[in-house]
Structure 1
Amino acid sequence: MMPQDQFPSFREVPNTGVIYVMTKAQQAGFHYGAADWANLGQGAPETGALAAGEERLEAVAIDATSSEYSPVAGQKELREAVAELYNKRYRRGLKSQYTYENVAISSGGRTGLARVAASLGRVHLGHYLPDYTAYEELFDAFKGFVPIPIVLKEKDQFRATAGQLEEEIVSRGLGAVLLSNPNNPTGQVIHGAELERYVEVGRRQRCALIFDEFYSHYLYDSAALESASLSAARYVEDVNKEMVIVVDGLTKNWRYPGLRISWTIGPKAIIQRIASAGSFLDGGAAHPLQKAAIPLVDIKVADQQAKIIQGEFSKKRELMMRSLISMGFRLPAPPIAGFYCFAGLEKLPESLQDGMQFFEAALQKKVIVVPGKFFDVNPGNRRGHIPSRLNKYVRFSFGPSLAEVERGLSRLREVIAEAAAKGE
């Protein structure tokens, strides 16, 4: 007889992407704070002060008021502060301005994206490949829309023009498009006139554009630096009529992943729907943390943080790029944003040319990386019969401290040298 499932009312939820990687690492002895490991698979930036005199949040006050539930859409004061930040950064002199009603606060980026997904109608939702691994779980969890992949090609440096986007929208009947900008894992970014054209395409085709902007402070190409950061919000004509939705938060751009505070910005009518979704999905972000976040989104603090990040992370970026190339990795599209290098393995010893095999070999040296196949977002495994075109890529993070990045790169050099010595 076939063994019966002990819990037949519950389905298996597979560990994929970064969750799979971190689970395997923990089984091998990794724990957060482990000094003998190098977590180059890390999807979060180093925390703490990076520059002399930089002030960081060190305490969160809790009183009787903040012990109460917060409104599901978020504290009005924080929503007002976020709206003011976007107006000052991107909408100076424009008639249409964001108000608190254009902002919803969530407990982290994934929660914010889940609220957006729960609010979508029965549409074809375009999404790029490669892109953020968690989108796969998001698409699997919500069945009201049909996810449609849009392939970003290496020959185009993993970027799509506004014209290509419009062709995809028209030919595939897309009602919405979700994309990380800057992109995770490739480090490419749509900015300036091209980003403006993206917004124009959405306006013209009545297609919702959902921008995941969690890396918008991490800019290294002078051409991308319109200001201290970038956002599609700069190019919206009417904030309450255009279906441009922006998701961001303190996790990456302010380097407070533990606070789990994010926001979604868009037309009032859509924000109302997103807040309604939050009432049954998560109930709202922690009240004391929202109060603590208000000073952090002041434009002076936010712009200072962006400039510090660009100064300090650019050093780690240069080190990683230089080191990977010297070891034989291929960088088809050097990162101009974010804190990742997406590297090809074809020039390495044969035993290391597959992303999963490379991951296992690096793990033996207590180094964590993320195989490229996990960014080939494939909800429902609908393309399971086709080998992933990203099998020969790996994502490396320079999010950790400089010392940890250096340790990890040194050990990767050992991995490659040992494989070459064995003739593998």
Structure 2
Amino acid sequence: MPNISIKGSQMPASPIRKLVPYAEEAKKRGVNVYHLNIGQPDIKTPQIALDAVKNNTLNVLAYSRSEGSEAYRKKLAAYYKKNNILVNAADIIVTTGGSEALLFAFGSIMDIGDEVIIPEPFYANYNGFSVASGINVVPVISKIEDNFALPPIEEFEKLITPKTKAILICNPGNPTGYLYSEEEIKKLASLVKKHDLFLIADEVYREFVYDGVKHYSILENEGLEDHAIIIDSVSKRYSMCGARIGCLVSKNKEVINTALKFAQARLSPPTYAQIACEAALDTDQSYFDEVITEYVGRRNTLIKELEQISGVKVAYPKGAFYCMVELPIDNADNFAQWLLESFHYNNQTVMVAPAAGFYSTPGVGLNQIRIAYVLKSEDLVKAIHILKIALEKYILQAN
């Protein structure tokens, strides 16, 4: 039988999705599963976006431009201007989700064997994108004790080699929920300018910031125009994960022209989805105000419930809708599988994301999980109560 590629065998499985078969089996047994494992919001998609597709009168569903429709990119530029990010339509390439934007960025600025420095824990698929692109992730560890704040800038500088091409951050962070401050962004900006690197910021959770704190984009930083690449997406902003529309944004014309060649090779982003996303940009601010209020309530409920469990350590998220939790166990992968295979309480269980998959350093994060607080507060209370009982039983069995 022919062999699969080395790249294929090195491609990591999703730590979020690999437990799905166990969850499906639990459901077949009649067990109700509370999904704390995946960032699929239950917030309603703006009606204006849904109506734009329903009421569309297209006779031919044709290709769009490779860089995305001009009308959508112009409206995106206006959206960014409201967020103090001064770009125009020519600085934007529309992609099939933020995932494709990141792949285009990697392909445009790095060759096989090059390195990208990423604070970990980080979005698990960064590992997969790096394998697919033939590049190496160089992690710099942030700690739950520091709430996953940016590690000291000296730790980044120690890791820079001739192969280093970029630093990648997610702001606010998935899986940590950490929001980088303006001061932290400026430290990174100084570093990439000093060493002539790119700074890539995954800013898909820009709207989800709490406690009166403001999001500071890398493209708000003057003098960083040639170094900055933003990865963005509508998935979480408008609860439109299935639209699969994102974008790459940069003032660096060489980056945009190179990324466009990758965009041309895959022809175009989805036409209907762009119509929906263009309409979504007219969503009233009240939509976001209500969403933020809802998520702050969910976060506060989650933290309160988790802090009542003995031996649990919780990071306090300032953005996105994720929380990193350290459990008094040895292996969260085994625990997460056991929750679905062998445990239920009143015919209910919970599904969590083991955190080891959000690290690239072996052996780190083995006793941590990521919780997505995308359930209503009353369901979060029930889910964490079940988690508490499960932990007690699991630890008792282990001893």
TM class, shorter-length? 0.7 to 0.9
The Cα of 1:46 is off from its aligned counterpart by: 1.7
- 1:133 aligns to what? 124
1:153 aligns with 2:143: yes
1:23-42, Cα deviation, whole Å (9 max, x unpaired): 432344379xx992210001
- 1:235 aligns to what? 221
Per mean C-alpha deviation after superposition, the further-off stretch among 403-412 and 66-75 is 403-412
Residues 162 and 113 of structure 1: CA distance in aligned 2, closer, same or farther (over 3 Å) = same
What is the TM-score of this pair, normalised by structure 1? 0.82
- 1:118 aligns to what? 107
- Checking the alignment, whether the CA contact within 8 Å between 2:339 and 2:351 is kept in structure 1 is yes
- SS of the residue 1:414 aligns to: helix
- Selected match of 2:240 from 256, 270, 288: 256
- 2:309 aligns to what? 327
Partner Cα separation in structure 2 for residue 111 and residue 167 of structure 1: 28
Map of 1:270-289 to 2, 5 A cutoff?
Answer: 270-280=255-265, 282-289=266-273
1:47-98, Cα deviation, whole Å (9 max, x unpaired): 317xxxx75533314444661001121111111111111122114xxxxx41
Partner Cα separation in structure 2 for residue 27 and residue 168 of structure 1: 47
- Selected match of 1:46 from 42, 48, 55: 42
Partner Cα separation in structure 2 for residue 391 and residue 172 of structure 1: 32
Map of 1:7-406 to 2, 5 A cutoff?
Answer: 7-8=2-3, 11-12=8-9, 15-29=13-27, 36-48=32-44, 55=47, 57-59=49-51, 60-61=53-54, 62-64=56-58, 67-91=61-85, 97-122=86-111, 123-143=114-134, 145-160=135-150, 163-164=153-154, 167-168=157-158, 170=160, 174-222=164-212, 225-226=213-214, 229-237=215-223, 239=225, 242-266=226-250, 267-280=252-265, 282-298=266-282, 301=284, 303-346=285-328, 352-363=329-340, 364-365=343-344, 366-377=349-360, 386=362, 388-406=363-381
Partner Cα separation in structure 2 for residue 119 and residue 46 of structure 1: 35
- SS of the residue 2:3 aligns to: coil
Partner Cα separation in structure 2 for residue 172 and residue 394 of structure 1: 35
Partner Cα separation in structure 2 for residue 359 and residue 277 of structure 1: 38
The Cα of 1:187 is off from its aligned counterpart by: 1.5
- Checking the alignment, whether the CA contact within 8 Å between 1:180 and 1:212 is kept in structure 2 is yes
- Checking the alignment, whether the CA contact within 8 Å between 2:19 and 2:337 is kept in structure 1 is no
- SS of the residue 1:199 aligns to: helix
The Cα of 1:420 is off from its aligned counterpart by: 5.7
- Checking the alignment, whether the CA contact within 8 Å between 1:169 and 1:175 is kept in structure 2 is no
Residues 304 and 114 of structure 1: CA distance in aligned 2, closer, same or farther (over 3 Å) = farther
- Identical residues among aligned pairs (%): 19
The Cα of 1:398 is off from its aligned counterpart by: 0.3
Provide the alpha-carbon RMSD of the alignment. Answer: 2.8
1:330-371, Cα deviation, whole Å (9 max, x unpaired): 33531111211111112xxxxx44211221232233311011
Letter in 1 for 2:337: E
Residues 99 and 162 of structure 1: CA distance in aligned 2, closer, same or farther (over 3 Å) = farther
Q: Which runs of 5+ in 1 are unaligned?
A: 92-96, 347-351, 379-385
Partner Cα separation in structure 2 for residue 326 and residue 230 of structure 1: 33
1:113-166, Cα deviation, whole Å (9 max, x unpaired): 1121222233321122211111111111111x3332222234433222573365
1:149-195, Cα deviation, whole Å (9 max, x unpaired): 22223443322257336524646762211121112112112122322
The Cα of 1:8 is off from its aligned counterpart by: 3.2
1:190-243, Cα deviation, whole Å (9 max, x unpaired): 122322332233233321011011222221233xx22xx44222214364xx21
Partner Cα separation in structure 2 for residue 421 and residue 68 of structure 1: 60
What is the TM-score of this pair, normalised by structure 2? 0.87
Aligned length: 385
Partner Cα separation in structure 2 for residue 357 and residue 177 of structure 1: 32
Partner Cα separation in structure 2 for residue 82 and residue 372 of structure 1: 34
Q: Which runs of 5+ in 2 are unaligned?
A: none
- Checking the alignment, whether the CA contact within 8 Å between 1:39 and 1:404 is kept in structure 2 is no
The Cα of 1:260 is off from its aligned counterpart by: 1.1
Letter in 2 for 1:85: Y
Partner Cα separation in structure 2 for residue 9 and residue 171 of structure 1: 32
- Checking the alignment, whether the CA contact within 8 Å between 2:165 and 2:198 is kept in structure 1 is yes
Partner Cα separation in structure 2 for residue 316 and residue 112 of structure 1: 30
